[in-house]
């Protein structure tokens, strides 16, 4: 068992475990913390695959921005201690069944397609450093890049408008 594989397994276990904890924990703040840990583990997966830029961006965007937003919202609504009524029992069992079902379906597709998993070759050249990514982003993918900026602008305006207080 090589080191890399070990690291991968640990990270994978952390990801899955914290994901489950996110869903099952009663306190929303705890859920948020677990989710942050999940994001961190996935970020380290990126780092394992030598994509440093994405690792940084992932941490900044997800753990830094998105989770902060979540926490702010949770605190705004004072959901600190939550005694939430659970869904009806049958619904919860149905959810479990669907969980297993979707797992089976997706894995079955993969197995049935019998992919030819060939030798993992390296071209040797650098394909994912920030320099290369920047070049591609601003050459071939410039239009989606600009549109992404428009998207973020619209989202910002939308968020401001939607959460305005009515003058009553």
> Of 63-102, which residues contact other proteins (CB under 8 A)?
65-66, 69-70, 73-74, 76-77, 79, 82, 84-87, 91-92, 94-96, 98-99, 101-102
52 binding other proteins? (CB under 8 A): no
Residue 126 to residue 2: CA distance in whole angstroms:
24
- On whether the CB atoms of residues 27 and 81 are closer than 8 A, the answer is yes
Residue 126 to residue 32: CA distance in whole angstroms:
36
Residue 11 to residue 17: CA distance in whole angstroms:
10
Output the smallest distance, CB 144 to other proteins, in A. Answer: 6
10 binding other proteins? (CB under 8 A): no
Distance from the Cα of residue 164 to its chain's centroid: 29
Among positions 81, 114, 124, 167, the unique one binding other proteins when judged by CB under 8 A: 124
Chain positions 133 to 152 lying near other proteins, rule: CB under 8 A, are 133, 136-137, 141, 144, 148, 151-152
Among positions 81, 114, 117, 167, the unique one binding other proteins when judged by CB under 8 A: 117
# of chain residues touching other proteins (CB under 8 A) = 88
Residue 82 to residue 26: CA distance in whole angstroms:
7
155 binding other proteins? (CB under 8 A): yes
Among positions 81, 121, 167, 168, the unique one binding other proteins when judged by CB under 8 A: 121
Which residues have CB under 8 Å from 53's CB, separation 6+? 128, 129, 130, 133
């Amino acid at each position: 068992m090589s080191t890399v594989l070990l690291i991968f397994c640990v990270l994978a276990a952390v990801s899955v475990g914290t994901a489950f904890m996110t869903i099952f924990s009663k306190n929303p703040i705890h859920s948020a913390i677990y989710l942050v840990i999940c994001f961190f583990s996935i970020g380290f997966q990126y780092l394992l695959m030598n994509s440093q830029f994405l690792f940084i961006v992932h941490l900044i965007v997800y753990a830094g921005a998105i989770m902060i937003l979540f926490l702010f919202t949770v605190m705004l609504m004072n959901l600190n201690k939550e005694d939430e009524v659970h869904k009806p029992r049958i619904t919860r069992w149905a959810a479990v069944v669907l969980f297993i079902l979707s797992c089976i379906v997706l894995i079955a597709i993969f197995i049935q397609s019998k992919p030819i998993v060939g030798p993992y070759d390296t071209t040797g050249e650098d394909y994912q450093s920030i320099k290369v990514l920047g070049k591609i982003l601003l050459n071939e993918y410039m239009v989606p890049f600009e549109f992404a900026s428009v998207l973020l602008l619209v989202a910002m305006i939308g968020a401001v408008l939607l959460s305005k207080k009515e003058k009553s």
